[in-house]
Each structure stands twice: as C-alpha cells, then as structure tokens.
Amino acid sequence: MELPLHLAWSGLRRFELGDEKLLLGLYRIVLTNGLREDLTRYLNADLLVRHWPRLRIALGKPVRTCWEQRFPELVASAAAA
C-alpha cells in the first residue's frame, strides 16, 4: 500500500502489509496524521484491534486516549494481551 504525501511526507510511503513492522508503522502514521477519509480508507477494524496492544505503545497518549475512549474494544484488546 502506498500512502499519499499528505500522510507520509517524510520518509517511507510504500508499505508491505504482510510485514507486521511496516503495517504497524502505516497504522501509526494514519492514526496520528490522518483525516476522517484516511481513517476509513487505510485502516481495517479487525487489524487495528488485533495489533492494538503493540500499536498503542507507539502512539502518543492523546491519540491513544482518544481512540480508546471511542472504541472500548481496543481497551479490551490491550487488557487481553
């Protein structure tokens, strides 16, 4: 997958989704910098929940808190890890 310049303006733009490290990097970029349209286009709910325990560590507290308040399943995923 290739992110547009408005998201990945500094560095890597192409991500191999089969590589967990690259997938987490893509999700971190989209969660941190994405607009609503980017969130729906580039994020998959099942993958987000599955990888949330590791992904949440890479996010700043304001972003992590915002997502966990809106989506309780993320909190449950982190607690189960």
Quick: pLDDT tens for 13-55.
999 999 999 999 999 999 999 999 999 999 999 999 999 999 9
State the pLDDT at residue 12: 85
CA distances from 37 to 8, 42, 48 (A): 15, 9, 16
Q: Are 23 and 15 spatial neighbours (Cβ–Cβ below 8 Å)?
A: yes
The Cα–Cα gap between 18 and 14 comes to 12
State the pTM of this model.
Answer: 0.91
State the pLDDT at residue 55: 96
